[in-house]
A and B are shown apart, each in its own frame.
Chain A
C-alpha cells in the first residue's frame, strides 16, 4: 500500500486513509448506506450495506432507571476496503444498540477518496449534521485554514508544526505525541477552539454536536479550485 497526497487532504467530504467518519445512531431502525467515491453520491442510489440499531425504548429506559445513569456509548469500527472506485465494509450488516457510535476508516492509497452515504439526511460523511464526527491526521506542517464547503460561516485553523526531530530520542518523543488527539467541538454554528496547534502526524477530531444545516470540514485551498457546492 502506498501513500498519496490524499493522505494529507483535509476534507470531510473525501475520506482518505488517515481520516475517520463517526456517526452516532440515537434511534432504533435500519439504516442502509453505501460507500462511494467522494462527490459521487448523486450517481448511485444503491444502499447495499446496513446499520441495524436495536434497543432503546423500554429496555434503554429500564436500564437507565436501574443504574440511575445513561447506558455507556459503545463504539463499533468499520474498516472500509477499497480498490479503485469500489468500496466494501468489513461488515456489510452491523447490529448496534441505540446511542452507539460507528466509525469508518479506510481504504488504501490505491483507492479514490470516499464518502459514507446513508439514506437518512443525518447519515452522510460528506454532509455532517448531528452527533457525528470527522478525524484527520495531519501529514505535513503548515497552517490549515478550514471552512464549511456548504457556505456557512463556520471556520477554523489547525497549525501543524514540524517536530524537528534531530535524533532518535526526538523521534521517540514525537511518536508518543501521536497518541494524543485534539478535539474541535462544533455546535450552533461555532467551532471551539477555533485554533488548534498540533505536531505533524497528530490527529484532530471534529465533533459535530448540532448544526442547523449540514456542514463540511474542508481546507479552504481546495475551495479555491473546486466548483461551488450546494
Chain B
C-alpha cells in the first residue's frame, strides 16, 4: 500500500487544471501551406483556456470545451494570371487631321502576382481526453496528463469570417492594379471561391491541431530525493526522503470520481 495518497475531486481538479493551464505560455508556430490553389505563409500564436474537467476512471481526464485562442498572420500569394483570362488592349486606330490614320499595336498584358496580408484572431473548441502518465526524468518524478489522439476542432463561423477578412484585404490590393477595374468583382469572387471554406479548414486544421494534439499538462513535479528535516548540527545531519514510486489515476470513491496521486517512499 502506498505511503502517501493525495486525492482531489472534480471541483478541485477543475481549479488545479485552471491554474496549470494558465501557466502554460502562448505557443507559436510558422510555416507555409496551400490555401486552396494558393500558397500561404503564416505565423500563429495560440494559448489554451481550460474547459470543464470530467474525471473518468481508471486514468482519463476529459476536458470538455477546451478552448484554444489563436491569432493568425497570413500572407497569401496569388498569381492573378492563374485565375483571370489573358488581357489584351486591342489595336486602336485614330484619324489625325492632315496626317492620316495612326494605329497602336495590340498590347497583351499578363496579370501580376499579388500578396494579400490578413490578420485574424479567433478561438476553437475541442473535447479532449488526456491520459495520466508518471515518469522519473533526470531525478524528478513527473505526473502529466498526455492527450489521447487528435481531437476534432470545431471551427464554426471562424472560417467564414476569415474568408470575409481575406475579401476585405483583397479589394484595395486589386484596385491598385492597372486595368483590373472591370475585372474586379470577377477576380475577387474567383479568389474567394478558389479558397473556399474547405480551403480554410484545410489550412487552419493542420496549423492549429498540433497546439492541442501535442499538449501535455503538468500535474505534479517533485525531485525524487527531498529533505524533510534540515541539518541541526555536525551529529544531526539533514534527513532526506526518497520517493520510490509515484502513480496517478482516476478512481471512484463513494460515487465521486477523484484524481488520485500515490507515492511510495523510503528514507
Residues of A within 8 A of B (CB): 1-5, 7-8, 17-18, 20, 22, 24, 72-73, 75, 77, 79, 101, 103, 105, 109, 131, 133, 135, 137, 139-141, 162-163, 165-166, 170-171, 174-175, 178-183, 185, 200-203, 205, 207, 209
Shortest CB-to-CB span from A4 to chain B, Å, is 7
Task: Please report the C-alpha to C-alpha distance between residue A230 and residue B119 in the assembled complex, in whole angstroms.
Answer: 48
B186: chain A residues at CB < 8 Å are 171
Within 94-142 of B, Cβ neighbours of A (below 8 Å) are at 94-105, 107, 109-113
List the 6 closest pairs (A to B, CB-CB), nearest first: A139-B178, A8-B178, A181-B92, A165-B182, A203-B92, A181-B94
**Cβ contact within 8 Å between A17 and B105:** no
A207: chain B residues at CB < 8 Å are 94, 96, 99, 102
Asked if B177 lies at the interface with its beta carbon under 8 angstroms from chain A, I say: yes
**Cβ contact within 8 Å between A181 and B181:** no
Beyond A137-B89, A183-B96, A207-B99, is A3–B109 a contact (Cβ under 8 Å)?
A: yes
Shortest CB-to-CB span from B144 to chain A, Å, is 53
Contact of A3 among B98, B103, B112, B185 (CB under 8 A): B112
Task: Please report the C-alpha to C-alpha distance between residue A166 and residue B184 in the assembled complex, in whole angstroms.
Answer: 9
Beyond A163-B181, A163-B182, A200-B182, is A179–B102 a contact (Cβ under 8 Å)?
A: no
**Cβ contact within 8 Å between B179 and A200:** yes
Task: Please report the C-alpha to C-alpha distance between residue A181 and residue B178 in the assembled complex, in whole angstroms.
Answer: 18
**Cβ contact within 8 Å between B92 and A17:** no
Shortest CB-to-CB span from A186 to chain B, Å, is 11
Q: Which residue of B lies closest to A4 (CB)?
A: B112
A131: chain B residues at CB < 8 Å are 99
Contact of A179 among B90, B100, B177 (CB under 8 A): B90
Task: Please report the C-alpha to C-alpha distance between residue A109 and residue B183 in the assembled complex, in whole angstroms.
Answer: 20
Asked if B234 lies at the interface with its beta carbon under 8 angstroms from chain A, I say: no
Beyond A2-B110, A7-B179, A139-B179, is A103–B99 a contact (Cβ under 8 Å)?
A: no
Asked if B93 lies at the interface with its beta carbon under 8 angstroms from chain A, I say: yes
Q: Which residue of A lies closest to B95 (CB)?
A: A183
Task: Please report the C-alpha to C-alpha distance between residue A179 and residue B177 in the assembled complex, in whole angstroms.
Answer: 21
Contact of A140 among B178, B183, B185 (CB under 8 A): B178
**Cβ contact within 8 Å between B181 and A203:** no
Residue among B105, B112, B182 with the highest chain A CB neighbour number at 10 A: B182
**Cβ contact within 8 Å between B94 and A182:** yes
Shortest CB-to-CB span from A185 to chain B, Å, is 7
Contact of A18 among B94, B109, B177 (CB under 8 A): B109
A24: chain B residues at CB < 8 Å are 99
Task: Please report the C-alpha to C-alpha distance between residue A179 and residue B105 in the assembled complex, in whole angstroms.
Answer: 11
**Cβ contact within 8 Å between A178 and B92:** yes
Contact of A171 among B112, B179, B182 (CB under 8 A): B182
A202: chain B residues at CB < 8 Å are 92
Shortest CB-to-CB span from B100 to chain A, Å, is 4
A-B contact pairs, 25 of them (CB 8 A): A1-B109, A3-B178, A7-B178, A7-B179, A17-B109, A18-B89, A101-B102, A103-B105, A109-B112, A135-B92, A135-B104, A140-B179, A165-B181, A171-B183, A171-B186, A178-B89, A178-B92, A179-B93, A180-B92, A181-B94, A182-B94, A203-B89, A205-B102, A207-B99, A207-B102
Task: Please report the C-alpha to C-alpha distance between residue A46 and residue B100 in the assembled complex, in whole angstroms.
Answer: 33
Shortest CB-to-CB span from B184 to chain A, Å, is 8
Interface 1/0 per residue, B60-101 and A, CB below 8 Å: 000000000000000000000000000001111111111111
Task: Please report the C-alpha to C-alpha distance between residue A147 and residue B177 in the assembled complex, in whole angstroms.
Answer: 24
**Cβ contact within 8 Å between A170 and B89:** no
B96: chain A residues at CB < 8 Å are 133, 183, 185, 205, 207
Task: Please report the C-alpha to C-alpha distance between residue A182 and residue B94 in the assembled complex, in whole angstroms.
Answer: 7
